[in-house]
Structure 1
């Protein structure tokens, strides 16, 4: 795991936090069942529900077709060892020796060995590839079991070497020493060392976190020299390290935690490389210190980004360090730095359509190269290779598949918020912007925990683009697109800034001639629903429809209940209303559930999960009941017939905050949401599809350059 990935995981993936997560797209799987849509509002007639359900099946067929178009693109579910390549497929892990063909695939792990109905989450190979460890997460809750498999003397059928319960993160120090953290509820505070000996396996506690605001996980340096214990809160971090050459020794503290200090540790050639927020503006920079002198007073600055640019990720190679950088308007770059000559920076511009990057190292520890996938919400992954020592360091795999895609535009612009702050926007559209007044638009927002909007490939978004929708991604304050300061500017007492940014983005698009309110929908999930719900309370006239998934809507009620699993850890993001009256008043001023009024709201489809342990279902139901009552009161007061919003609660079984793992269930859920959008915006999906059927084989995707509009309304 890369350094910033470790720091971000305090609030991401299966860590503590109500986060935005986009489902990973995969190929078809076995069909299970589909849960229905439940209405909780008297304003949803039987005819409207029938129309929605009638459209769901056609959209499901269309989605399957879109997924089928992209079955051959690169996938990140493959990884490399020193002697074999491994593939995660369906309910198992398979491997093949280098030089052999697909017919020689051998299964090395099955999920049913973990005795749970689950999916594979993480995989780690021991240093000499003698043992494999993988976590299998239960599809109906967030707990995972770690399965260890012997690889050197592989037998068919294979039996697990060992199974560990409630494991979150894990890393090998040697072939017989594994460090792992356990997850109790949604909290990780304990680190154990598993020692595999001839006499059996011995597990010992090596670290216990006492502060409930901190989350603990383990990671490993890219050269495998050290295992790190990373203790992180929303505002500070602390790292302990274990030398893999003496894995039974006690962890060594790098730098004691202090308020406001975030850092992560890498290792190369007896040097520690520290990524810390000690740069200008308290943004991340790279520092270096001898392995034997890890404390902060010995840190020496090595690299800082230029004005306006921020570090989004870091990869350590044998002799180079590679940074993923984001420019002010969102353009991605790679900065390659020789470790022995850090002033000689090579800047590699990535394609203008690229919005998401996922790295993948080669199996050799001493490799000075790595591969990565580039994608966008509408552009499938393309694999690139970076080899800093070559004359042409950046290369890509054959991209013929993508020549069959219709042309589209990627446009980056900015919107002036209420206080003058320029907020980045990323648009995907088929037609030039001046021709998009009558196009439907789907707006995306998150704006919490310092996390970027998920902008990886999503076939559902590709379907909308093919139907001539505009897809708008609003990078509002509270997120991480513009660095740590961007997050600080949209959390705690500044949370309403994110709402102002979202409103400014939508209004700027309208003023630019892009879509109009009756053709505009907003989508958000988890903590992103806070901004979406607050916008609906304050500016409902901007939208016709809203999609909310696993939404966090009752911020005030949740943060006043410390018995809930995330309340204490979340205080750094939302505040503590129990001990600070200003925090309480601030939360109360924007909390979606506590600011509903009698007015014309947009129609809403709210998807929630009955056993969601991150977002209390009671808060979702409370919001739906209050909203339904307000809509009913408003509509009953209308003297003339007008638009009456539809409020739907799609309550699904299961305890996973991130939606169904099963492909068919996931597909049905997406089809239901698409049917809702087309119904509420009064769109003919068949007609929309026909507009693009003649565009399937146009030239390769256009790469439009980033731009900042010069129209007076942007200044």
Structure 2
């Protein structure tokens, strides 16, 4: 085996991964995979190789360490470290989270609501101190956090590795003691109204697919299996309606679903089906009074809204509330005793529409920036006239509003503070539409600092995703100011495959049409160059997960178009992964990418799979990032990709692989650790763009 230790920082030499060829034959093609062995995490050579790559990356970037440190301190200096969330009401308490100066994780708390509705003078009860949970660990994340209806018990789950494998526990909030109850691989939790019965779902040990629903009574030794989903395309979930009238058991794949329901005050009762699953039909359910409200795409991809009596859920009893609209996607609903809030998307932008269910009058909440995003905040109480939502744009920090649905009065509750000399008026946002090669207009969102925007091509950071029907909505980042203040234009390409323009936009970038995602991104990059925003030698691109797949494909197709690529937890060994049904998520993903066991669908994926299409050609500078405990995109995909690319690339530009040995798909869990990772990325990219400290 060759020496895997990196050379001295004065002349770093990339490590060499040993070749151990494995032949993979299907559909008449034999692919030789020299690095298949990297899948074995227990092989000491695997860990040695990852650590050698980390050492090499550290050596190459050693001259940038002062710049990285300066960026980190600059970004940390914008954060109000002792910040807190806006409290929300639930069953006699205000719940909130807060940070303390210098600490990485939040502290989750509550205070009782006073007779006058206030809370400030009440004694604080700490429910979970995530800093204490993280003590001695490199990673800590809280998943589920559900307080029982009587306020006595807290069911919570934690992941201590980053593998997104959660342990469920129950805490007695009266005594502060943990019950002996422990359950592993828990994916969702809901309480019955008796506050003694807990429903939870668990994942399969082999595939990490959420496949079983369980019932547990506090104090009992065991659990009762309520349902096991055998179809490997489907995952399961459980939740309690805001009305607290019903428990819902959601069963869904990427293209179809089914919802079962149970009266929340009858936990030992029989679960019933709202509507049997049908191919290509997805739906969600909420409850109000004696009716279920159903958001469903049975008549078209953009969904319609119907309601039906709880006592008669057959389709013949459905009453249409809102028909399918070709130009508006109904993304979700929030249902209250007297009001309905619809989450819609029009030409790529969110909107909120409020309906007073007492008289049917509807109105939209207006927003005036060219690109922004909305988020649902905690709206825990069913009998409320106030709707809380979050708003942000690329130049407006995250903002929480309370909107009185009856009076239409909006109250700003909190805008995330940005310390220092931040002034949003210095920054400008734009929304462009750039024609793809087939004539389809692709939206692009941009932000830049006005006084740093010259007449010529600027350094530009272009981000993309484009998968699973997930909109790549814009967001504010105080850390990103370190780019904008140095003259970088930041852009987001809303390419096909995401849900940015509704479900049809998703359909146009998946399965046989997946190549549209990649060509859209290239066409957007070329369009930005043609319009004078940037130039190829000033263009950085970035994407993570499925966006990392995007990075791998476009770097293969048009390497000369980009100066530097940042590829985070990239899905770059697409073909091999989709051929391995034993891996987490694979079978369920057949409805997104295709099933390569079928010849035609093998051809779809083979045409773009980055690992299989690497070529002997020059490439841009590339930074590839992964985590050892990633359960969504296994570490070996980026590791194999880098190892093979090293043998093929014909240029001298840097190629770095950085593996976080103590995290998962989302990277570091601590807020300062995460900021340190961003500072590393920024230092690398800014240096390649010729921008120093």
1:684 aligns with 2:668: no
1:26-49 deviations in Å (ceiling 9; x for gaps): xxxxxxxxx99977599x899843
1:272-304 deviations in Å (ceiling 9; x for gaps): 10001134x421111111111112332222114
Q: Distance in 1 between matches of 2:686 and 2:171?
A: 48
Report how far residue 619 of structure 1 moved: 2.2
Equivalent of residue 97 in structure 1, options 93, 112, 119 = 112
Which is worse superposed, 361-370 or 609-618? 361-370
Which is worse superposed, 490-499 or 424-433? 424-433
Equivalent of residue 228 in structure 1, options 232, 248, 252 = 248
Report how far residue 166 of structure 1 moved: 2.2
Q: Distance in 2 between matches of 1:439 and 1:295?
A: 59
Equivalent of residue 71 in structure 2, options 59, 69, 75 = 59
Aligned length: 627
- Per the alignment, residue 373 of structure 2 pairs with 356
Map 1:202-217 onto structure 2 (within 5 A): 203-217=223-237
Equivalent of residue 266 in structure 1, options 281, 286, 294 = 286
Q: Summarize the Cα distance change of 1:670–1:150 in structure 2 as closer, same or farther, 3 Å threshold.
A: same
Equivalent of residue 390 in structure 2, options 373, 378, 402 = 373
- Per the alignment, residue 165 of structure 2 pairs with 143
Could you tell me whether the CA contact under 8 Å between 2:622 and 2:655 is conserved in 1?
Answer: yes
Could you tell me whether the CA contact under 8 Å between 2:397 and 2:415 is conserved in 1?
Answer: no
Q: Summarize the Cα distance change of 1:434–1:93 in structure 2 as closer, same or farther, 3 Å threshold.
A: closer
Q: Distance in 1 between matches of 2:127 and 2:630?
A: 32
Which is worse superposed, 239-248 or 299-308? 299-308
Report how far residue 378 of structure 1 moved: 4.4
1:23-74 deviations in Å (ceiling 9; x for gaps): xxxxxxxxxxxx99977599x8998432233422112111211224x865x7
Equivalent of residue 84 in structure 1, options 93, 97, 103 = 93
Could you tell me whether the CA contact under 8 Å between 1:41 and 1:628 is conserved in 2?
Answer: no
1:49 aligns with 2:66: no
Equivalent of residue 126 in structure 1, options 131, 144, 148 = 148
- Per the alignment, residue 10 of structure 1 pairs with none
1:395 aligns with 2:417: no
Report how far residue 431 of structure 1 moved: 2.4
1:599-653 deviations in Å (ceiling 9; x for gaps): 221101111112322223222222112222222xx23xxxxxxxx3110001220
SS at the partner of 1:253? strand
Q: Distance in 1 between matches of 2:57 and 2:377?
A: 50
- Per the alignment, residue 689 of structure 1 pairs with none
Q: Distance in 1 between matches of 2:59 and 2:160?
A: 38
Report how far residue 110 of structure 1 moved: 4.5
SS at the partner of 1:93? strand
- Per the alignment, residue 29 of structure 1 pairs with none
Report how far residue 395 of structure 1 moved: 3.1
Q: Summarize the Cα distance change of 1:146–1:676 in structure 2 as closer, same or farther, 3 Å threshold.
A: same
1:238 aligns with 2:258: yes
1:335 aligns with 2:350: no
Give the gaps of 5 or more residues in structure 1.
1-34, 636-643, 686-715
Q: Distance in 1 between matches of 2:480 and 2:234?
A: 36
Equivalent of residue 382 in structure 1, options 399, 414, 418 = 399
SS at the partner of 1:52? helix
RMSD: 2.8
1:654 aligns with 2:662: yes
Report how far residue 400 of structure 1 moved: 10
Map 1:663-702 onto structure 2 (within 5 A): 663-685=671-693
1:278 aligns with 2:298: yes
Q: Distance in 1 between matches of 2:435 and 2:594?
A: 27
Could you tell me whether the CA contact under 8 Å between 1:609 and 1:655 is conserved in 2?
Answer: yes
Report the TM-score when normalising by structure 2.
0.85
Report how far residue 339 of structure 1 moved: 2.9
Q: Distance in 2 between matches of 1:563 and 1:170?
A: 26
1:583 aligns with 2:592: no
- Per the alignment, residue 418 of structure 1 pairs with 437
Q: Distance in 2 between matches of 1:113 and 1:40?
A: 31
Map 1:366-515 onto structure 2 (within 5 A): 366-390=383-407, 392-397=408-413, 404-407=422-425, 408-431=427-450, 435=454, 437-453=456-472, 455-515=474-534
Equivalent of residue 574 in structure 2, options 546, 555, 573 = 555
Could you tell me whether the CA contact under 8 Å between 1:114 and 1:163 is conserved in 2?
Answer: no
SS at the partner of 1:518? helix
Q: Distance in 2 between matches of 1:48 and 1:216?
A: 45
Q: Summarize the Cα distance change of 1:396–1:176 in structure 2 as closer, same or farther, 3 Å threshold.
A: same
Q: Distance in 2 between matches of 1:570 and 1:527?
A: 12
Equivalent of residue 610 in structure 1, options 616, 628, 641 = 628
Q: Summarize the Cα distance change of 1:618–1:413 in structure 2 as closer, same or farther, 3 Å threshold.
A: same
1:225-264 deviations in Å (ceiling 9; x for gaps): 1111111111101111111132211110111111100000
